[in-house]
């Protein structure tokens, strides 16, 4: 049968339109219709029926282009026919629905019969409709391509009602599940995790988590429990914070601040959450609800629920979720009160164990000084047995008379006023001997500021006093020995150099025309003797005051001015290499002490390499590397690395302990002195083995100069 398109009512309508329901029998081929061979009136009836049908009908090309549509379809799309004809229907659908629609057309044309499809129709920017489509083949076109007749049904209200019912039911299910979990959950963590898990797996939300602020405004949030469908919470790289954003707080912070639910209907369109929404929009959700978990006393945290659809939370669902939050908050308060009670009981038991085990005397007295409790240490210190002290006893009964009077006149009054008193006193034991003690008195007050109890602690100072006297005697002897050792270490090199130049000058006196060389040698002698004098003065100042004479200086320049013998390869067992980072900030240091420290470390490294060469019969010289770098914002580091024998196993924990040495016959004071010098500058000194390579690296880090 011939097929053509004709103008009907200003619309292009196929002259042969397949109808879902046709009345009367089908006309056989060659049979004349009731209106003659061409049956023009029947075609007009078809066109009228098509145009006036209450069912929206659209004729599409298999590519989706609209060829015709009736009045009901134009009303559905909210547009005139001329603005729609020839345009692909996919343009009114979302991208995913557009792809599904194209597949649907192919299935209809392939005869896979009576297929249906639901799509979201976005004919106008502010109007989105849920539409159910049914399709049937519309007959071949003149160019060989097919047509599809679509019957559309607006199911927006139906789906909205179903959505409202679904949302209400999911919130109610979540509330019931929370009530059940409150009954059986053994602890807070299990309860919160079960609630989040059900909100996602049982109620169908995209993400649910419960958090509390970890610190002050702007600090990260501590997540207490969470559940999600596809790991979207783990994909959030930055820590979730609750402080102010450029346009206000995020939902968590707003709920925490106001104590009321905070809801974002569409994260992509709410300017109040622009910055926060950029991160949220990248995940699989569009609306967010944050509900504070609070009881009558405080806010315990915030429950955050995320949904894939926009405007996901209506009034009924919000009410159910707020009830869920109230149940959760009450349960959290109960768990935390129970945990606080258990914690207090455990602390009390631990305190009693501590009081019973400590050798110090601990007593609790009333405001008049009557003893209410005394630990075993108090009785041991006083040389008394608890069973012998029956009846009332006062703190003054355990003290020497002078100490009791001081406690009465000074200790108790100061503790009442300031809450604490510290001082030395003397206990009197059962034999009448006085025991020196360090005493602390603490006043415990009620809400009105009245003293209810005094706690008294006393530490026996007998052994300390004896050791202190002995330590003073030893310290005086050690100071003399250390001074001699320091001077011996630091004066050896300049005096040896002065001796070498002096001997060379004497030999040149016997030769003519050597006045210039003799002058040079004597100038070197004077320079080294002056250096020795500066060392003596610097060490004396350091030992007298304990502080270096520091000034701003460049570490790289100091290292480059080190002993010429080191820099010119004059070391016998090793060669010196420099690895100096450029543009280091200046440090605050005493150049004399620091140069002696570095020289000592370089000599120590050379001797360690020599010892290894002797043990392993090495042919090549080892390398001593002096390296500088910026250690941190506040420190600059110098590292002295050698290829020597390394640190012994028993010294790797503390390689700079007193009297440590790697040299045969050495006193072991050089490294200890280096540490003292570095630490006196406010720096750090440490050593580390070069594992797996041989040798040791000594590190010293010095503070950079502070900008004025």
Q: 519-564: per-residue pLDDT in tens?
A: 777 777 777 777 777 767 666 665 555 566 778 989 998 888 875 5
Residue 208 and residue 229: Cα distance in Å, rounded? 10
Residue 433's CATH number: 3.30.450.20
262 domain-assigned: yes
349 domain-assigned: no
Residue 226 and residue 195: Cα distance in Å, rounded? 9
409 domain-assigned: yes
Residue 103 and residue 291: Cα distance in Å, rounded? 43
In the sheet where 622-630 sits, what is the strand order?
Answer: 574-580, 622-630, 635-641, 696-703, 684-689
Domain end (from 405, 430, 460): 460
Residues 141 and 170 in one domain: no
The DSSP symbol for 705 reads: P
Let me know: does 273 contact 248? Beta carbons within 8 Å.
yes
Alpha helices in 243-314 (DSSP H): 251-258, 274-281
Strands (E), 178-220: 207-213
Residue 139 and residue 108: Cα distance in Å, rounded? 11
Domain end (from 460, 480, 508): 460
Identify the band that residue 145 occupies on the pLDDT scale cut at 50, 70 and 90: low
Digit-coded pLDDT (tens) for 51-96:
888 889 888 888 889 888 888 888 888 777 677 888 898 888 888 8
Least confident of 405-409, 532-536, 619-623: 532-536
91 domain-assigned: yes
Residue 146 has pLDDT above 50, yes or no: yes
Residues 143 and 166 in one domain: no
- Mean pLDDT over each residue of the chain, to the nearest integer: 77
HSE-CB at 600 with a 13 A cutoff on CA atoms is 29
- Cα 558 to chain centroid distance, Å, stands at 41
Residues 123 and 174 in one domain: no
Domain end (from 443, 460, 477): 460
110 three-state secondary structure: coil
30, 152, 551, 587 from 687: Cα distances, Å = 109, 82, 26, 21
Residue 276's CATH number: 3.30.450.40
Q: For the chain, report the end-to-end CA distance as a whole number of angstroms.
A: 100
What's the whole-model pTM score? 0.42
97 domain-assigned: yes
Residues 87 and 172 in one domain: no
Residues 140 and 173 in one domain: no
Residues 100 and 172 in one domain: no
Residues 598 and 664 in one domain: yes
Q: And the tokens for 386?
A: 């608890």
Residue 144 has pLDDT above 60, yes or no: no
Residues 681 and 646 in one domain: yes
691 domain-assigned: yes
Residue 663's CATH number: 3.30.565.10
Residue 647 has pLDDT above 90, yes or no: no
Residue 649 has pLDDT above 90, yes or no: no
Residue 628 has pLDDT above 90, yes or no: yes
495 domain-assigned: no
Identify the band that residue 702 occupies on the pLDDT scale cut at 50, 70 and 90: very high
**CA-closest candidate to residue 312, choices 290, 287, 280:** 287
Residues 674 and 658 in one domain: yes
In the chain, the percentage of residues whose pLDDT exceeds 90 is: 9
Which range of residues forms the domain containing residue 176? 162-339
Residues 180 and 82 in one domain: no
654 domain-assigned: yes
Domains: count for the chain: 4
Residues 320 and 455 in one domain: no
Residues 144 and 168 in one domain: no
């Amino acid at each position: 049968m011939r097929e053509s398109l004709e103008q009907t009512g200003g619309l292009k309508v196929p002259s042969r339109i397949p109808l879902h329901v046709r009345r009367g029998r089908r006309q056989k081929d060659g049979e004349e219709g009731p209106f003659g061979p061409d049956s023009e009136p029947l075609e007009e009836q078809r066109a009228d029926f098509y145009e006036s049908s209450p069912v929206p009908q659209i004729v599409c090309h298999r590519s989706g282009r609209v060829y015709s549509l009736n009045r009901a379809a134009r009303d559905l799309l909210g547009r005139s026919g001329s603005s729609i004809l020839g345009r692909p229907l996919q343009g009114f659908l979302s991208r995913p629905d557009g792809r599904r629609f194209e597949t649907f057309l192919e299935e209809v044309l392939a005869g896979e019969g009576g297929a249906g499809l639901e799509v979201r129709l976005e004919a106008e920017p502010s109007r989105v409709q849920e539409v159910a489509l049914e399709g049937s083949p519309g007959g071949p076109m003149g160019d060989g391509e097919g047509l599809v007749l679509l019957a559309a049904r607006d199911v927006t209200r139906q789906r909205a009602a179903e959505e409202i019912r679904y949302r209400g039911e999911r919130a109610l299910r979540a509330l019931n599940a929370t009530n059940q979990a409150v009954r059986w959950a053994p602890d807070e963590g299990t309860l919160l995790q079960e609630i989040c898990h059900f909100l996602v797996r049982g109620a169908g939300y995209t993400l649910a988590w419960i958090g509390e602020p970890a610190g002050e405004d702007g600090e990260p949030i501590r997540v207490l429990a969470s559940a999600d469908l596809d790991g979207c919470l783990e994909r959030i790289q930055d820590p979730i914070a609750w402080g102010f954003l450029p346009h206000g707080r995020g939902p968590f912070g707003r709920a925490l601040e106001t104590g009321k639910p905070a809801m974002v209907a569409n994260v992509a369109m709410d300017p109040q959450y622009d910055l926060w929404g950029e991160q949220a929009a990248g995940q699989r959700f569009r609306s967010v609800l944050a509900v504070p978990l609070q009881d009558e006393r405080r806010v315990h945290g915030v429950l955050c629920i995320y949904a894939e659809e926009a405007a996901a939370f209506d009034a009924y669902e919000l009410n159910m979720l707020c009830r869920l939050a109230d149940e959760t908050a009450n349960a959290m308060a109960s768990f935390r009160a129970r945990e606080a009670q258990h914690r207090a009981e455990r602390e009390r038991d631990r305190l009693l164990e501590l009081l019973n085990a400590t050798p110090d005397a601990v007593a609790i007295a009333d405001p008049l000084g009557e003893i209410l409790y005394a630990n075993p240490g108090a009785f041991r210190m006083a040389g008394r047995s608890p069973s012998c002290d029956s009846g009332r006893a006062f703190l003054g009964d355990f003290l020497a008379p002078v100490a009791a009077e001081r406690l009465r006149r000074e200790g108790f009054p100061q503790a009442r006023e300031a809450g604490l008193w510290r001082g030395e006193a003397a206990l009197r034991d059962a034999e009448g001997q006085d025991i020196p003690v360090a005493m602390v008195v603490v006043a415990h007050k009620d809400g009105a500021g009245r003293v209810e109890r005094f706690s008294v602690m006393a530490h026996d100072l007998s052994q300390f006093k004896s050791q202190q006297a002995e330590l003073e005697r030893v310290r005086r002897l050690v100071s003399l020995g250390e001074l001699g050792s320091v001077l011996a270490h630091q004066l050896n090199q300049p005096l040896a150099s002065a001796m070498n130049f002096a001997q060379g000058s004497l030999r040149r006196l016997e030769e003519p025309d050597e006045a210039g060389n003799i002058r040079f040698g004597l100038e070197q002698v004077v320079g080294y003797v002056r250096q020795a004098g500066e060392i003596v003065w610097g060490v004396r100042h350091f030992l007298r005051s304990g502080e270096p004479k520091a000034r701003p200086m460049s570490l790289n320049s100091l290292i480059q001015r080190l002993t010429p013998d080191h820099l010119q390869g004059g070391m016998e067992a090793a060669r010196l290499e420099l690895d100096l980072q450029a543009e280091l900030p200046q440090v605050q240091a005493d150049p004399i002490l620091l140069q002696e420290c570095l020289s000592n470390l370089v000599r120590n490294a050379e001797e360690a390499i020599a010892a290894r060469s002797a043990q392993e019969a090495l042919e090549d010289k080892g390398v001593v590397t002096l390296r500088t770098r910026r250690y941190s914002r506040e420190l600059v580091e110098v590292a002295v690395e050698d290829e020597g024998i390394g640190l012994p196993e028993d010294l790797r924990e503390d390689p700079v302990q007193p009297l440590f040495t790697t040299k045969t016959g050495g006193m072991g004071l050089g490294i200890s002195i280096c540490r003292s010098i570095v630490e006196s500058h406010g720096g750090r000194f440490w050593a580390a083995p070069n594992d797996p390579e041989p040798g040791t690296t000594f590190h010293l880090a010095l503070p950079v100069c502070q900008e004025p």
